[in-house]
Structures are given as structure tokens and as C-alpha cells.
Structure 1
């Protein structure tokens, strides 16, 4: 007769019971709402801010001008929710393929969003109204910091989606594995298009970023719902 070994994570969950599950669900809720909140606020501004053209201006440009505080707050709040929510993903994915790096990468993307909110890019290409067309002759230090934060956010999100693809593939969930890889590839292509200066690059980047962010939120929501069963 042998005694089955209980994994440490399962033993911890069993002993904490009613405390661990609600706490984990709260963390996963933060990750679930971060992307829809950010996308809704950003796209609402894109549709209503005078002079803003999503085919020309990145969503980060909404941080400029008298109403820029809205997008700055959007970055900070969504970034904080993502960073906190990554701890929930770590709890439910621990011990599985990709269970270490996917939450880490999601957390890094959240920190990148916070930095993107703290450091605002320079007005450019006619937005806000009254700004000359084209890029400024010289960029400010905070504009460079914003671009660096954006690169960190996008790179970590792309990687997180592909790690999630491996996670779901190893679990035999081929549909979710494919969706993860498509979401990561959408951001990779959108960012590449924007970096190349191609026409409509800011729109492609917005579509890719929102796709990847919403997929991470969908994964968090999947685990949030299953953790309550």
C-alpha cells in the first residue's frame, strides 16, 4: 500500500480553503477587467477627441492635451490591475507548463503600462489640435521613456500569449492554444507595421494590442470562473 503525495500547491489550497479561493478570484477579477476597461476608455476617447485620427495617431497620444489626464489614468489603473491580476494567474497556473513565465510576463506588461502612463509622449502629427504635422524635430526624455515602456509592454504581451499557447497545447486545449498564438501574432504584426511607418500602422498596433490584452483577460476570466466551482 502506498501513500499518494499531495503537491504543495494543492495542500496549501486545501488548508486555506475559504480564504485562498476568494482571494484568488479577486486577483483574477483584476486581470479580467483591466483590458476591457483600458480598451473601452481609449476607444471612446479616440472616437470623441477632436483632431484624433486612429489611422495616424497611436492611442498613447491621447495622454496629450487638456484631457490627457483621462488616458494617463487609464494607463495607470489598467496597468495596476494587470500587475495585481498576474498574481492570480500565478496561483492557478502554478506547476503547469508555462505556469511560471506566463504570469511573470503579464506582470511585466502591467508594469510597462504604468510606466507608459507616467511618461507621456510628445504631441505630434497634428494632435492635439494646433500641433504641427509630422514628428517633432527633437524628442523629450519622457517621450523616449514612453516608447521604451511601450516596447516592454508589447514584447512581454507577445511573449505571454505564446507561452499561454504552449500552456494550453500541453493541456490538450488546441482551440485556446491557437487563440493564444493568434493574439500574440496579431500584436507582433501590428507593432512591426507601426514601427515600419506603414500607412495605418497606428490602427494595426491598436488592433493587435487590444487583441492580445483581451485574450489575457479572457484567460484570467476562464480561471476565475473555474476557481469558484
Structure 2
């Protein structure tokens, strides 16, 4: 659990869900488990074994999440290896984007696109997003570069993670080529089709 909580803090720093929000939701779930264990709101929330311990377990997890911030650097980062779940928290957009477009039966590799180049597939994706590009694409470009940095351009590691954990893919290209191309295509499109976010000074 330590690596997952570390991932939550990383996501929080990157404008993801606040760890305080997550902690509060766990406390709320604990209370619902205590009052009405069969509530519909708990349908997809796992229970502890034995089930009657669930409220206490959720309260303990909630407290641990908040306490983690006060741990020593060694306690936070020195003793626990990164897990696939922790890494997945760094790529909320790719967790949806890669399976939808490049997973099995993905939109970018279906029968209509089977002879398309990877550049054409990326262009198709950008066209689908347009005109809401400024609210959807910059984050994908950022995650592309984060993937390259985190996996240090290791194609095998990226393939194992994004293909197996996310059930995604990169079309006919290697991830080490796909991610820079995706990011640059996004940047080029934004520069061409959308005005600058900050107007120039006179």
C-alpha cells in the first residue's frame, strides 16, 4: 500500500485528486459500511475479511494516507519499490487513451485504419478531439514525455507496462518513437490551429 499512497501524493502534486479528498471518501465509505453494509453505494467497493472489520480497515487506510506526508524521506522513498499501480497513477489520460485508440480493436487500428501510418492515426485522433484540443491534448503531450523520462527510453519496459497494464499499444511504431511523435504532433497542431494562450504584450 505504501507505493500506492506515494503515487496518490505524486498525483496530488500534479493537480490530481487531493489526498485529503481521498481520505475523506474512505471515512465516508467506512461509515456507510458500518450503518448499511448492503447499500448500493458500496456495490463496487471491496470489503475486508471478515466483512465486519471493513469500517476499521477503511479508517486505518484513511489515517495512513494523511500520516504518510509526515514520514521521513527514507520512509517515503527509500524502502519501497515502484509498483505498476503506482506508475499507473502517473498516466490518467493514457489509461483511457491507449486502450481506446491503440488497444485491441482500437479506433486508430481498426479495419478502416489498418493501412494508415502512425502519423495518420495520430492526425485522426487530433481531428476527433478538435476543437476542444486545448482542454484535452496538452496533458497527453505531457504524459508522453513523462513516460520517456520515467522509463528512460527503455522500449521493452514501456511495452510491458503500457501494453500489459493498460492493454494499450502504439500502432506499428515502437513506444520510444510513438511518444515523441504524439507529443510533437499535438504541439504542431496547437500552434497551427489554436491561438496562443497568453497574448503578446504590445
Q: State the TM-score, normalizing by the size of structure 1.
A: 0.26
Larger radius of gyration: 2
Higher helix fraction: Structure 1 or Structure 2?
1
Give the TM-score of the pair, scaled to structure 2.
0.28
